[in-house]
Amino acid sequence: MRIMAINGSPRKKWNTASLLGQALDGAKGRGAEVELVHLYDLDFKGCVSCFECKRIGGKNYGHCAVKDALTPVLERAAAADGLVVGTPVYFGAETGETRSFLERLCFPYLTYTPGYAAIFPRKIPTALVYTMNIPETALPQWGYDIFMERMRGVMARTFGACELLLATDTMQFDDYGKYLSTVWDAAAKRKRHKEVFPADCAKAFALGERLTEPVPAA
């Protein structure tokens, strides 16, 4: 069994990457082989709207036709037994690299048929991990719950199942005094990171364990 994690953050040792690392540790504890990919290390684009993945009888039907540094990652993701994608929230959405990855990952499997049925050949467990500065109580106010649930639904329709893990009100800097960031209470951020983020990591570890379990039959 192989579980793959995709880090859509430019930071390799901060909130998103830490949660993904915990998820992989959880999967590894269940005997899975694991892999972590940092999208910001790769040179790639999002969907280029060529529609070759939907050309009937075409050589790229059901597969992204674009060839770049993301191509082998998509191939490994398609062969994985579980997939978790992590991203911070930038301007009310996934990072640009994460969004480009998700376009290339999911769109080839979506069909323009009634119900937009997916043609991914198996059902595998997947998850989306989102980290963000705003508190959980503010998610509806900013519409975060809507965009995250929309993407969760796309992943579930494509692969058979998808969980959401949210880490809210996260600490953005080691030293808030170095940056113009007076909208936040630095002491409160540090306190929450010390007291709450370990619980988020524990949730991520348990998520990784669940990713080793098969998707129940519908």
Which CATH number do you get for residue 46?
3.40.50.360
Alpha-carbon distance 53 to 65, whole Å?
Answer: 7
- The share of the chain scoring above pLDDT 90, in percent, equals 85
pLDDT of residue 218: 62
Q: Give me the domain span that covers residue 66.
A: 2-210
Residue 117 lies in a domain: yes
Number of structural domains the chain divides into? 1
Residue 20 lies in a domain: yes
Residue 218 lies in a domain: no
Residue 57 lies in a domain: yes
Q: Which of these, 35, 31, 131, 139, lies nearest to 88 by C-alpha position?
A: 131
The pLDDT of residue 97 is above 80: yes
Residue 216 lies in a domain: no
Q: What is the dihedral of CA 12, 13, 15, 18, to 10 degrees?
A: 100
102 alpha-carbon distance from chain centroid:
8
pLDDT of residue 214: 83
HSE of 210 in the Cβ direction (CA atoms, 13 Å)? Answer: 17
Residue 217 lies in a domain: no
pLDDT of residue 131: 97
pLDDT of residue 111: 94
User: Model confidence at 216, in pLDDT bands (50, 70, 90)?
Assistant: confident
What's this model's pTM, rounded to 2 decimal places?
A: 0.93
pLDDT of residue 25: 96
pLDDT of residue 132: 94
pLDDT of residue 76: 97
Quote the strand ranges of 8-167, DSSP E.
33-38, 82-90, 93-94, 124-131, 160-167
- The share of the chain scoring above pLDDT 70, in percent, equals 99
Residue 189 lies in a domain: yes
pLDDT of residue 186: 87
Q: Specify the residue for token string 């480009």.
A: 100
The β-bridge partners of 130 are 87, 166
Residue 215 lies in a domain: no
**17-65 tens-digit pLDDT:** 999 999 999 999 999 999 999 999 999 999 999 999 999 999 999 999 9
Least confident of 115-119, 145-149, 214-218: 214-218
How is residue 3 annotated by DSSP?
E
